[in-house]
Amino acid sequence: MSPGVVDFLFRRLVAGEPAEDVQWGKEGAALAAVPPGAELARRLAETDLDALTPTELFDYVRAAQRLAAWAEALRETAVGRYCSAPSAPSGERGSA
């Protein structure tokens, strides 16, 4: 955990507030609510991991796993189509 996060959590605990950044959750849809796709990939790529609290980091990891599973499903679909595509006649292969 970065020193900034430790300081933030300490200040919240001293103030009697929960050790959770509620403002972060108000800045947009939670990562758990963003469907896999380009928007989730953008948000993950733009996130400063050192600034995340442990709870946010956990949510980040789960969102990254959902995105990876989604991308893997796309790859498997594409491979299935590639493998089931009729092959070109031998005269069309390699002739340039």
Would you give the distance in Å from CA 47 to the centre of its chain? 10
58-87: pLDDT as tens digits: 999 999 999 999 999 999 999 999 999 887
What's residue 79's pLDDT? 96
CA nearest 59: which of 83, 34, 78, 38? 34
In order of 80, 81, 94, the CA distances from 88 in angstroms are 17, 15, 11
CA nearest 24: which of 10, 5, 11, 6? 5
Cα–Cα distance between 51 and 82 in angstroms, integer? 42
What's residue 8's pLDDT? 75
11-48: pLDDT as tens digits: 878 888 776 656 555 667 788 889 999 999 999 999 99
Model confidence at 91, pLDDT cuts 50, 70, 90, reads low
